[in-house]
Amino acid sequence: MTAPAGLGAPADRPWQIPAAPAVFEARERFSAELDRFWDESTGRRLVVVSGVGGVGKTSLALDWLYGKADEFPQGILYSDLGGAREQPPEDPGEVLHGFLTALGSSPAEIPASLDQRAAAFRTATAARRMAVLLDDAASVAQVRPLLPAGQAAIVFVTSRWRLTDLGVDGAQFVALPPLTESQAQELFERYTGTERVRTDPPAASEIVSSCGGLPLALSVAAARLRTRPQRTLAREAAAYGRWTSAGGSSADKTLSLNAIFEVVYEGLPQSAARVYLACGVHPGPFLSTEPLAAALDRPLSAVEDDVDELIEANLLTEAGEDRFVQHMVLRSDARTRAATVLPGDERERLAHSFAGWYLDRVLAADEVIHPHRARYATRGRRSKDFVERSDGLAWWRDHLSVIRAVFTSAADHEWDDIVWQICEASWGFFLHHRDYLPWIAMSEQGVLAATRANLPLVEARLRSQLGFAYAKLGRYDKAAEENVVALRLGQQENHGPTQATALSQLGRSARGQGDLEGALDFYRQAADLQERLGIPRGVALCRRRQGEVLAKLGRYSEAMIELAASATVMAEVNDPAQHARSVMALAGIQAAEGRAEDAIARLTESLRTMRALDSPFYTAEILAALGRIERQCGRDEESAGHLAEAQTLYTELGFPRADDPGDASQP
C-alpha cells in the first residue's frame, strides 16, 4: 500500500496503517503529551499506549499519525500483532518479513533467522524518517525485534498490557483510561446525532453509562440506533438494562461490551446474524465476501448485503477492497457466540468449506507462479484463474496470514487431503518467499498428512521439499535423511521423477558438505534418469549443477559443455531465471580462463535479466562478479559503481553473500 495522494510525499512510500477513525473523541491531554514527546525528544521515539480492549488505543495512535502525516515522508509501517487473539500472536520474524518486503527487499532473499531479519530491518530503516504502529502487542519480546534504527522515527505500540520493560528502550508510557462521562456523552451524540439524543436525554445518559466509557461500545450502540431511526432511546436503554441486570454490574467493562453486543446481535436480520457467526468460525485475521458466500452456500450479492449490514452495525470494518476485519473484542465475541449458537458439526462444516475455498485459490495461484512443475494436487472448485504470475504472487503475499491460519486449522482437524495439497502448492511461492522456519513447520505437517493418507509419492515430494529447506539452512545431514527416504519411496513405487528429484537433492547435500565428487555422481545419476524420462528442464537443471561442481574442481572445459547445454534448454523452455543462472556460471569460467571481456558481456546480459525479474540478491551477486572482473581489466570507475551497488543491496538484504550461486537454484 502506498501513501495517500495529497500528503506531499513520494508515491512509493509504504503506507500500511488503516484509515483514520471517522468519528474520534479527541483526547486532548494525551494528544498534547504525544506532541511534546515528538517535539522535545531526540533520536527514535517509542510510545506504549495501554488500556482495556475497546478503549481507543489504536484510534488515538491513528488520529495522531494522520495529523502528523507530513512528518513521515518515508512512510508508515503497520502490523496487528494479535496479542489478544485466541490464536497465538504474530511471530516477530513473520512481521519483519512483511516490513522488509514493504521497504523494497526481495522476499526470496530475506534472511531466515529472527536476529538476521531484525538486523536487516535496522539497516533498512537507519536513514528513514518514518513511523511504525505495532498494534495489540503481546509481550516485550515480540516488540523488541521490530524496533527500527532511524533516529527520526517514532514507534507506537498498543497493548492491553503495560509492557514496562520497554522503559529500558526509552519508551514513553500512556495508560489510556475509559472516557469520562462528559466525553462519552459528546462522542455518543456525534455518533448518533444531536437531535436524536435531545429527544430523551435521560435515556441517552443511560445508554452511555451502559457503555462503560468505551468508544467501541459507544460506536456499536450508536450504529444500531442509526439503522433504526424509529426506535426510541428509552426502549434501547431498557434493552441494555435488562441484559446487564441479569448478568451483574454494568460497571464491569467486559459486561458492558457483552450487553451491547448481545442486544445488537439480537437485532440483526437472520441472514446477517449468520454471516456474523461465520466470521467467528473463519480462522484468518481478515475476511472476504467470496469465501463467506462459498461457506454459507449463498449468492455473493446476498452476502455482500449482509456484510454491509454488519459494517453499518460496526461489527465489521472495511480494510481495503473486499477485505474486512473485526476489532479484537468483536472477534472474540463472534468466536464465543459461534461456539455457543452453532452445533459442532455446523462449525466444522463451515471451517472445512473455508479451507476448501482457500485451497482452490492457493492451487490457482501456484499454477501461474510455478508453471513448469507437475502436481499431484487437483483443483475441485475451479474458481477464476490468475492471468499473470505477478497476480498470483501478489494474492499469495496479501493473503499469507490467512493461508497459514487455514493450514493450521486443517492440520488441527487432520484434514489430510487439504493439508498436503496446500503444502505442495506452497512450493512455488516459497521459492520466492524463502521463509525457511515456517516452511519447515508446514512441510513437516504435510509429510505427516501424506503418510496418514497413504500417498507415498506425495510424501516423497514433500520430503524432498523439506530437505531443500534443511540444506539451505546448512543442515545437510537432515536434508540427506529426508531425501534418502524420498528416494526409497520413489524406488518402491517405481516412479522415475521422484527418484531423480531425490538424487539431485542428495547431490545438493553432498556439495554442501564438501564432497564434490559425490555431488557430481548424484547429479549425473539424476540427469541420466531425467533424460530417460524425457524431462528436458530437469536434465538442464542437473547439467547446470554438474557444470558448477566441475568448475569448482577446475575442470573448466567439461563445465563449459554442461553449462552451455543447460542455458540453451532453459531458453527453449522459457525459464529466464535459470537461463541467467547458467550464463552467470559460464561467465565465471571465462574470467578464470582470462577471457574477461567475454565474461563482462555475459554478466551484463545476466544483470539485465535479474533486474527485470526483481531479484536483489542475485542482482547483487552479478554486480559483485562484474565489478571484480572490471577491476581486473582496469575499468576502475565502472567497477566501483557496480561494487558499491552490490554492497548496498547486500546491506539492505541483511543476507550473507553466497559463495556458490548454484546452491540457491530451484530443484
Residues sharing a CB contact under 8 Å with residue 245, sequence separation 6 or more, in sequence order? none
- Return the C-alpha cell found at 81: 500483532
Give pLDDT, residue 13.
Answer: 80
- Return the C-alpha cell found at 460: 516423497
Residue range 534-560, pLDDT digits in tens: 999 999 999 999 999 999 999 999 999
Give pLDDT, residue 21.
Answer: 73
112-117 CB contacts, 8 Å cutoff, 24+ apart? 112/434, 112/435, 112/436, 112/437, 112/472, 112/473, 114/145, 115/145, 116/654, 116/655, 117/93, 117/145, 117/654
Whether the per-residue pLDDT at 627 is higher than 70: the answer is yes
Residues 455-472 have a mean pLDDT of 95
Residues 567-575 have a mean pLDDT of 90
Range of lowest pLDDT (131-145, 257-271, 431-445, 461-475): 257-271
Residue range 491-530, pLDDT digits in tens: 999 999 999 999 999 999 999 999 999 999 999 999 999 9
Give pLDDT, residue 473.
Answer: 87
Task: Look at strands 154-159 and 131-135 and give their pairing.
Answer: parallel
Q: What is the DSSP letter of 165?
A: G
What does the alpha-carbon distance between residue 251 and residue 216 come to, in Å, rounded to a whole number? 16
Rounded alpha-carbon distances, angstroms, from residue 488 to 263, 404, 493: 62, 30, 9
Residues sharing a CB contact under 8 Å with residue 223, sequence separation 6 or more, in sequence order? 191, 264, 312, 313, 314
- Give percent of the chain above pLDDT 70: 90
Whether the per-residue pLDDT at 643 is higher than 70: the answer is yes
Please check whether residue 638 is in contact with residue 483, taking contact to mean a CB–CB distance below 8 angstroms: no
Query: Bigger pLDDT: 247 or 423?
Result: 423
Torsion from C-alpha of 17, 21, 26, 30, nearest 10 degrees: -20
Helices H, strands E: what count in the chain?
Answer: 31, 7
Cβ neighbours around 229 below 10 Å, total? 8
Q: Assign 667 a pLDDT band (cuts: 50, 70, 90).
A: very low
Whether the per-residue pLDDT at 249 is higher than 70: the answer is no
Q: What is the DSSP letter of 153?
A: -
Please check whether residue 471 is in contact with residue 508, taking contact to mean a CB–CB distance below 8 angstroms: yes
Residue range 577-618, pLDDT digits in tens: 788 888 888 888 888 888 888 889 888 888 887 787 666 667
Residues 419-423 have a mean pLDDT of 97
What does the alpha-carbon distance between residue 229 and residue 314 come to, in Å, rounded to a whole number? 16
What does the alpha-carbon distance between residue 285 and residue 413 come to, in Å, rounded to a whole number? 19
Residues sharing a CB contact under 8 Å with residue 564, sequence separation 6 or more, in sequence order? 582, 586
Residue range 132-169, pLDDT digits in tens: 999 999 899 999 999 999 888 999 999 988 898 999 99
Whether the per-residue pLDDT at 54 is higher than 90: the answer is no
Q: Assign 86 a pLDDT band (cuts: 50, 70, 90).
A: low
- Report CA torsion sign: 527, 532, 533, 539: positive
Whole-number mean pLDDT of the chain?
Answer: 86
- Return the C-alpha cell found at 593: 580462463
Residues 90-106 have a mean pLDDT of 90
Residues 63-67 have a mean pLDDT of 92
Burial 333-352 (b: 16+ CB within 10 A, else e): bbbebbeeebeeeebeebbb
What does the alpha-carbon distance between residue 599 and residue 576 come to, in Å, rounded to a whole number? 19
pTM for this structure?
0.69
Query: Bigger pLDDT: 661 or 244?
Result: 244
In the chain the first and final C-alpha atoms are separated, in Å, by 33
Give pLDDT, residue 329.
Answer: 74
Task: Look at strands 317-318 and 324-325 and give their pairing.
Answer: antiparallel
Single-letter residue type at 8? G
The 3-state DSSP class for residue 652 equals: helix
Whether the per-residue pLDDT at 230 is higher than 50: the answer is yes
Range of lowest pLDDT (217-221, 315-319, 382-386, 613-617): 613-617
The 3-state DSSP class for residue 310 equals: helix
Tell me which residue of 332, 387, 380, 334 sits closest to 359, measured CA to CA. 380
Tell me which residue of 531, 533, 529, 466 sits closest to 667, measured CA to CA. 466
Tell me which residue of 517, 440, 516, 445 sits closest to 479, measured CA to CA. 440
Give pLDDT, residue 657.
Answer: 43
Please check whether residue 49 is in contact with residue 174, taking contact to mean a CB–CB distance below 8 angstroms: yes
The 3-state DSSP class for residue 156 equals: strand
What is the helix (H) or strand (E) element at residue 489, kind and residue range?
A: helix 476-492
Rounded alpha-carbon distances, angstroms, from residue 3 to 69, 96, 419: 9, 20, 37
Q: Assign 407 a pLDDT band (cuts: 50, 70, 90).
A: very high
Q: Assign 26 a pLDDT band (cuts: 50, 70, 90).
A: low
Query: Bigger pLDDT: 48 or 208?
Result: 48
Give pLDDT, residue 106.
Answer: 80
Whether the per-residue pLDDT at 622 is higher than 90: the answer is no
Query: Bigger pLDDT: 455 or 474?
Result: 455
Tell me which residue of 518, 651, 504 sits closest to 100, measured CA to CA. 651
The 3-state DSSP class for residue 15 equals: strand
Give pLDDT, residue 251.
Answer: 41
DSSP labels, 317-360: EE-STT-EE--HHHHHHHHHHHHHHS-HHHHHHHHHHHHHHHHH
Whether the per-residue pLDDT at 10 is higher than 70: the answer is no
- Return the C-alpha cell found at 121: 530491518
What does the alpha-carbon distance between residue 36 and residue 339 come to, in Å, rounded to a whole number? 46
Task: Look at strands 45-50 and 171-175 and give their pairing.
Answer: parallel
Which residues partner with 80 through β-bridges? 135
Range of lowest pLDDT (18-27, 261-270, 360-369): 18-27
Give pLDDT, residue 4.
Answer: 44
DSSP labels, 438-458: HHHHHHHHHHHHHHHTT-HHH
Rounded alpha-carbon distances, angstroms, from residue 24 to 8, 206, 209, 212, 219: 24, 21, 18, 17, 10
What does the alpha-carbon distance between residue 408 and residue 427 come to, in Å, rounded to a whole number? 17
- Report CA torsion sign: 336, 342, 346, 350: negative
Residue range 158-212, pLDDT digits in tens: 998 889 899 999 999 998 888 888 888 988 998 888 989 999 999 999 888 878 7
Cβ neighbours around 485 below 10 Å, total? 18
- Return the C-alpha cell found at 598: 567475454
Which residues partner with 154 through β-bridges? 45, 131
Which residues partner with 2 through β-bridges? 14
Q: What is the DSSP letter of 69?
A: G
Residues 622-642 have a mean pLDDT of 87
**Helical residues (DSSP H) of 103-232, grouped into ranges:** 114-125, 140-143, 181-192, 194-198, 201-210, 215-226
Cβ neighbours around 24 below 10 Å, total? 16
Angle at 633 between CA 628 and CA 638, to 5 degrees: 60
Residue range 283-310, pLDDT digits in tens: 998 999 999 999 999 999 999 999 998 8
